[in-house]
Amino acid sequence: MTGINTTSANRQVKDISQEIYAAKLQRDEIQAKSVDKDENSGLQNAIAEKLSDKSNVNTAFSDTAATLSISALGAEELERIRDSWNNHSVSALYEDGKPVSKNAEGIYKIGGAAFNDEELSAARDLITGVGSQLKNGYLSYRDYAKMEVAQKVVDKYASNGFNEDQAKAISKAMKDYNNNLIRTQERLLANKQTKTNDDPASGKYFGIEVHVPNEVRKSSNEFASTDIATNQELVASIRDNIRNTDFSDKEAVNKLKASYDELMRPAYSSQYPKSYKANVDDVISKDISDFLKLIEFEGKWER
C-alpha cells in the first residue's frame, strides 16, 4: 500500500493559505480606499474560488488542505469573514429602495455594524431627515455650509444614540450622502453647455456660467451667471469653521456667524454694485439663518 505524501500535502496547505491571506490583504486595501462597492466581495470570491479549485491539490487531501488553510487564519479572522458575507455598504442607510437582507443571526450588517429593525429604521430616519434639508442640484457656498452642519448634526446624534460601530457607519453614510450631492452637480454640469465667468471680480468666486436656451432667454446673453461655488479654498474655509464650532456654545456660534460674514462678504460684493450693500447684508443673513436652522432639527432624532 502506497504511503501518504504528507510533505506534499503540507506544502499544498501552505500554498492555499498564502493565496487566501493575499486575498485578505487585497480586500483590506480596497476597504482603505473606500471603493463604492461591496467591499468584501473580493475576499469572499477569492476564498470561494480557492475552496472550489482543487486542481492543484491531491484529491485525497483537497478538503483537508482547504480546511487547514482557512483555520490557519485564526478564529478572529474567520469571524470577520463570516460577518462580511452579509455586510452591506453604508448607502443602505440612506437609499430606501436598496434591498437589505438579514444575516443568519437575524440582524442587518451595514458598514461593518450590526443593526436590528428598530435601529436601522432610526438610522435611516436620521440621515434621510437631515439630508432632506440639503439641496440636490447646483451647489452654492450656503449649500456647502449646510452640508457641513448636517454632518455635525448626524455625527452628534449617532454618537449619543447608537453604539460605536453603528455611529461610525452612520457618520460615513452621511459623508457619502454629501459626496453624492457633489457628484450630482458634476453630472448636471457635464450635460450642460457652460463657460468660464471671465469677470475679474465675480469670476474668482462664481466661475461658471450656464447656457440659456433660446426659448427661455430674456436677454441677448447666451450664458447666465450662477451662484455655483467654484472657489474651493473658500468652500474649505467655510466647512472647516463649521466643523470646528461647538454648536452648544453660543459664543462659538456667534464667532462662526462673524467668520462666515467675513469670508462671504467679498464674494457677494463682487456680484452687487457698492450701492447695493443692503443686498449683501440680506444674502449673508439669509445664509446664516438657513444653515443654522438645521441645528433646530437636532431634537427630532434624539433617542
- In this prediction, residue 56 carries a pLDDT of 47
Number of compact structural domains in the chain: 2
- One domain for residues 75 and 150: no
- One domain for residues 197 and 276: yes
Residue 95 falls within a domain, yes or no? no
State which of 85, 114, 149 marks the end of a domain. Answer: 85
- One domain for residues 41 and 152: no
- One domain for residues 68 and 187: no
- One domain for residues 20 and 159: no
- In this prediction, residue 164 carries a pLDDT of 97
State which of 63, 85, 107 marks the end of a domain. Answer: 85
- One domain for residues 159 and 247: yes
State which of 85, 109, 128 marks the end of a domain. Answer: 85
**CA nearest to 181, candidates 298, 299, 94:** 94
- Give the Å distances, CA to CA, from 60 to 41, 43, 47, 105, 273: 30, 26, 20, 35, 86
- One domain for residues 147 and 278: yes
Residue 47 falls within a domain, yes or no? yes
Residue 109 falls within a domain, yes or no? no
27: domain range? Answer: 1-85
- One domain for residues 261 and 193: yes
Residue 129 falls within a domain, yes or no? no
Residue 18 falls within a domain, yes or no? yes
- One domain for residues 60 and 165: no
CA torsion sign for 187, 175, 196, 266 is positive
- One domain for residues 159 and 272: yes
- In this prediction, residue 25 carries a pLDDT of 52
Question: Using alpha carbons only, what angle is made at residue 245 by residues 240 and 247, rounded to the nearest 5 degrees?
Answer: 140
pLDDT one digit per residue (tens) for the chain, 303 residues: 444 444 444 444 344 445 544 555 555 555 544 444 444 455 455 545 544 554 444 444 444 554 555 555 566 665 565 555 568 999 999 997 778 888 888 899 999 999 999 999 999 999 999 999 999 999 999 999 999 999 999 999 999 999 999 999 999 999 999 999 999 999 999 999 999 999 999 999 999 999 988 777 777 788 988 999 999 999 999 999 999 999 999 999 999 999 999 999 999 999 887 757 788 999 999 999 999 888 876 656 555
- In this prediction, residue 74 carries a pLDDT of 64
